[in-house]
Structure 1
Amino acid sequence: MSAQNALTPRVFLFRHGETEWAKLGRSTGTTEIELNPTGSAQVSSAAAMLVGPGKLLDPRRLERIFVSPRKRAKQTLELLMKPNFDLIQGKYTYTEDIAEWDYGDYEGLKNHEIRVLRQERGHDKERKWDIWTDGCEGGESRHQITERLDRLISQIKEIQQPYMHGEKPVDVLLVAHGLILRCFTKRWIGLSIDNPLPIMFEPGAISVLSYKNNDVDEPALQIGLSLPSEEDALQRIEETYTNDSD
């Protein structure tokens, strides 16, 4: 693990596990859908491999956790942190800023059904509907999404800026949804929501963002991440316990 990777604050993105609507390709914004058995297993498996003292997602190194208030995201947090929930008490906040895109009139519909509906309403005569550009009737526009995500990004930077060289562990975790986390990723690196950057984010998956050169003004995608060795893990556990006792 490089010195920068070990010290620079990180932002972990975790997408909730599979739901029946997600499995069927239905737009799921404000509707309260629970994880299905596959989704629960996805999150539990990730927790066993990735979460715990000395592991990639170390609860003791988390300063804040921002969670979508939708039931499927809450369930995901509970499963993800189940063996370590006592370590995150007082650190997590449910916020609409990281809730899924509000699909409005398109809630519960598949993409082809949305396009048929829009054509019936006289839209999209010159090109196909694209949520990144056109937003959702009765729901949110890309400008509204940008506003709330930028607000959250500013909050995260305020938390992490004083500790860019590892003076204190201040990792942040977001637990949310596929589309909004892809939007967040674009805004993190300064791209507009409708930028055509292709991003995939599977249910129950984790992604990592950070900063180049330990600089809060250089947010970056961490597309390659060295996992901690056993020696690194033991050292980080010792450092975290020391910080906790200060």
Structure 2
Amino acid sequence: MARPLRIVLVRHGESEGNVDESIYERVPDHALKLTGRGRKQALAAGAELRELLGDGAVQAYVSPYLRTRQTFDLMGLDRNRLRVMEEPRLREQDWGNLQDVEDIHRQRAARAAYGHFFYRFTQGESGADVYDRVGAFFETLHRNFERPDYPPNVLLVTHGLMMRLFCMRWFHWSVDEFEALSNPDNGEHRTLLLGANGKYRLDRPFDRWI
């Protein structure tokens, strides 16, 4: 099995929904675009990743949401060394359809009290549902690792909650540990590094709730 040397998880840049919750009443979550600040964050992330990945080939998996695709495009990675797959299982936690801002606030407060992992949004998903999606994606990922020509670098351009749940599943964290962690900022990344012992470690921890 040709396991990659590193698996890099990147959160999309700042989106319209990060600065204006009322937009969820008019625009589907999957169609939200990056803000000007988000575009700058994507460019900065690309500069960091080009240095991190060096000259190695990269297999990229990108959430189909517009803001993640825009983030990936703005990174400016060398397309000659890049394989790209759109991966719907890496999408954001589903909230349902168009939302009411007052209901968003109510449900977020309820989720904070109930727990981010188990709370299910009305007509949407719980964190546990997204965790199951991650497990299904792992099956694909590990099958791909068996290819003799699999690249040494894996890149996932996705969402904050998905990054935490990916690591929870990979490192077998408990629900309590997951709940204690916060999402990375927009444009931030975390990297799973393959050690000499054949096991992966996280390059730096997620921040913990204060």
TM score, norm. by length of structure 2: 0.77
User: How far, CA to CA, are the matches of 1:44 and 1:35 in structure 2?
Assistant: 12
Residues 93 and 127 in structure 2, CA contact (< 8 A), matched pair in contact too? no
Residues 210 and 220 in structure 1, CA contact (< 8 A), matched pair in contact too? yes
Report the alpha carbon displacement of residue 132 of structure 1 after superposing the two structures with TM.
1.7
Q: Are the structure 2 counterparts of residues 178 and 115 from structure 1 closer, same or farther at C-alpha, using a change threshold of 3 Å?
A: closer
Consecutive unaligned residues of structure 1, counting only runs of 5 or more, are 1-6, 119-123, 225-246
Residues 60 and 155 in structure 2, CA contact (< 8 A), matched pair in contact too? yes
Number of residues of Structure 1 aligned to a counterpart in Structure 2: 198
Report the alpha carbon displacement of residue 148 of structure 1 after superposing the two structures with TM.
1.2
User: How far, CA to CA, are the matches of 1:172 and 1:131 in structure 2?
Assistant: 27
User: How far, CA to CA, are the matches of 1:213 and 1:19 in structure 2?
Assistant: 38
RMSD (Å) for aligned C-alpha atoms: 3.3
- The equivalent residue for 2:85 is 93
- The equivalent residue for 1:191 is 173
Residues 96 and 121 in structure 2, CA contact (< 8 A), matched pair in contact too? yes
- The equivalent residue for 2:72 is 77
- The equivalent residue for 2:191 is 208
- The equivalent residue for 1:11 is 7
What does 1:46-125 correspond to in 2, within 5 Å? Answer: 46-51=45-50, 55-58=51-54, 60-62=56-58, 64-80=59-75, 82=76, 84-88=78-82, 91-104=83-96, 107=99, 109=101, 112-114=105-107
Report the alpha carbon displacement of residue 106 of structure 1 after superposing the two structures with TM.
8.3
Residues 10 and 171 in structure 1, CA contact (< 8 A), matched pair in contact too? yes
User: How far, CA to CA, are the matches of 1:36 and 1:206 in structure 2?
Assistant: 19
Pairing 1:152–2:137 present: yes
Query: Percent identity between the aligned chains?
Result: 25
- The equivalent residue for 1:36 is 35
User: How far, CA to CA, are the matches of 1:95 and 1:176 in structure 2?
Assistant: 9
Larger Rg: 1
TM score, norm. by length of structure 1: 0.67
SS at structure 1 position matched to 2:180: coil
Report the alpha carbon displacement of residue 9 of structure 1 after superposing the two structures with TM.
1.7
Consecutive unaligned residues of structure 2, counting only runs of 5 or more, are 206-210
SS at structure 2 position matched to 1:22: helix
